[in-house]
Chains A and B, each alone.
Chain A
Amino acid sequence: MTMAEWALLVLLGALSLASALGLLLSRNAVYAALFLVLNFSVGAVIYLLFNAPFLAVTQVAVYAGAIMVLFVFVIMLLGAERLAPAENPPGLAYQRPLAIILAVALLAVAAWALLSGAQIEPSPSVAPRPDSSPQAMGMWLFGPYLLPLQVVALLLLAAMVGALVLSRKS
């Protein structure tokens, strides 16, 4: 990676973490949704840096586009943008400190696993750079991954029918 790519990657990482923290701490559901849109868009740029242009476009179209529009639509439909101030529910006073301790433990274990794993597998100096254009991805999706693709299509249909049934006025 060149120096400029490194600088971009560090900047994107900082933006990604900041927007995730914004989602965690925001007091307004619409702001939280917009922080998540920013996070997904930053993720799309990281995908571009890592030789995944098809996924970058899919990320913007499906995640930052369709999914987050659905979120914002539901937030505004329900009028649920104002969130109650964070407070422990009665009888669960230990939950917040416990959650923070568990999160720190998870982060520590992940960091330890990554650090010790890096010594086992040295990075290949020259990794092959496969063709990851949309055409090549299509050959993969309709070649070796044809069956999962069909299953996922069926799943999407089932989810669509399920959403219709659930939101129908009874």
Chain B
Amino acid sequence: MDATSFVTFLSAALFVIGALGVLLRRSALLIFMSVELMLNAANLAFVTFAHRWGQLDGQVTVFFIMTIAAAEVAVGLALIVTIFRTKRSTSVDELAQLRG
């Protein structure tokens, strides 16, 4: 097994752990962190393949993914704070209605 395969498997395992976190955890904050873990697993695969093929496009893509993750976190955490103000909880089970 070469290093590329090793890190690709690691990336797949991290992605699956992130997906499990999204499915199993009930706190919106923990679900959000698991999504970050999945994004990071994808980044890891991008960097590995960029190294494997000797091209920088993968690294540039990772840079954009990081930027978009930052934007996503800003909006998502603002949403969680707003929801917490009315529901007094971050549990996703409490969110059963569309009205605020």
Q: Give A residues with C-beta under 8 Å from B.
A: 1, 5-6, 9-10, 13, 16-17, 20-21, 23-24, 29, 32-33, 36, 39-40, 43, 46-47, 49-52, 54-55, 58-59, 62-63, 66-67, 70-71, 74-75, 77-78, 80, 83-84, 86, 89, 95-96, 99-100, 102-103, 106-107, 110-111, 114, 118, 123-124, 127-130, 132, 136-137, 140-141, 145, 148-149, 152, 155-156, 158-160, 162-164, 166-167
Contacts and interface: CB of A to CB of B under 8 A. Distances in A.
A95 B40 CA distance: 25
Nearest to A73: B77
14 contacts: A9-B7, A13-B7, A24-B20, A32-B33, A55-B63, A63-B40, A71-B29, A80-B90, A86-B24, A102-B23, A155-B67, A155-B68, A156-B71, A164-B78
B86 to A, nearest CB: 11
Given A71-B73, A102-B23, A23 B78 contact: no
B98 interface: no
Contacts of B60: 137, 140-141, 145
Contacts of A74: 29, 77, 80-81
B32 to A, nearest CB: 8
Contacts of A152: 64, 67-68
Interface centre among B7, B55, B77 (most CB of A within 10 A): B77
Contacts of A136: 56
A106 B17 contact: no
Contact of B47 (A50, A89, A110, A137): A50
Interface of B: 2-10, 12-21, 23-27, 29-30, 32-34, 36-37, 40, 43-44, 47-48, 50-57, 59-60, 62-64, 66-75, 77-82, 84, 90-91, 93
Say what secondary structure dominates the interface of chain A: helix
A68 to B, nearest CB: 9
A81 B37 CA distance: 19
Given A50-B7, A83-B30, A17 B13 contact: yes
Given A52-B59, A95-B23, A137-B60, A106 B7 contact: no
